[in-house]
Amino acid sequence: MTARRVAEPDGSRSVLPAVALGGSAGAACGAALSSATTAWVATAAAAAGPSGLSVAGPTGALVHTLSSAAPLLAVNVSGSFLLGLLWARSRRAGPQWRPRLVAGLGTGFLGSFTTIASAVALVIGPLQWGMDAVSAVPSGIGGALGAAALLGPVLVVLVLLAALSTAAAVLGLRLGGAPAPDRGAGAA
């Protein structure tokens, strides 16, 4: 009786180089897109005139937050689109290539291309600044209104980020050839 070789999990060793290479390329591309978006926002602000994109009041806070979040939106929405496209297209790859494609391009490249850490920083920065400002305001309705005015624009950006990223991923899936969900299956 001969001993049988137990196979390793499908491609466990062969995906590590793909993730490493994809990760380094994704970080560089994400930083380049973020820098380009920041430059574009600065150019738009300069073209808007001497006041730039400055607006007073609650609208000004929202405009400032949106202009600050533009690189985050650009990177994460485009990354969501590409991930949807990759997932749909990788289904057509042979079984020996799909793990490397998804690991290298999905986990590696797009995982480091998109920036969830920046989304966290978008929330933490204003929260810290806002809580310091709100702590100086008397408690009660004034403090609650102050907190809402500071956090409102951040929440708008986070909702916008989630909605646009989801829409971009669905668009990528559709353009990549993923089948449409069966809408009648759950209906009575």
pLDDT at 92 over 90: no
pTM assigned to the model: 0.70
- Domain membership flag for residue 188: no
**Into how many domains does the chain fold?**
1
- Domain membership flag for residue 133: yes
Q: What is the mean pLDDT of residues 113-134?
A: 62
CB 167 within 8 A of CB 81: no
Residue 149 is predicted with a pLDDT of 61
Q: What is the mean pLDDT of residues 134-152?
A: 56
- Domain membership flag for residue 187: no
- Give the best-scoring range by mean pLDDT among 5-14, 58-67, 107-116, 117-126: 107-116
Which residue has 């000004």 as its token pair?
A: 60
Residue 185 is predicted with a pLDDT of 57
Which of 47, 46, 41, 78 lies closest to 63, judged by CA?
Answer: 41
pLDDT at 82 over 90: yes
Q: What letters, b where the CB count within 10 A reaches 16 and e where it falls short, cover 150-172? A: bbebbeebeeebeebbeebbbeb
- Domain membership flag for residue 6: no
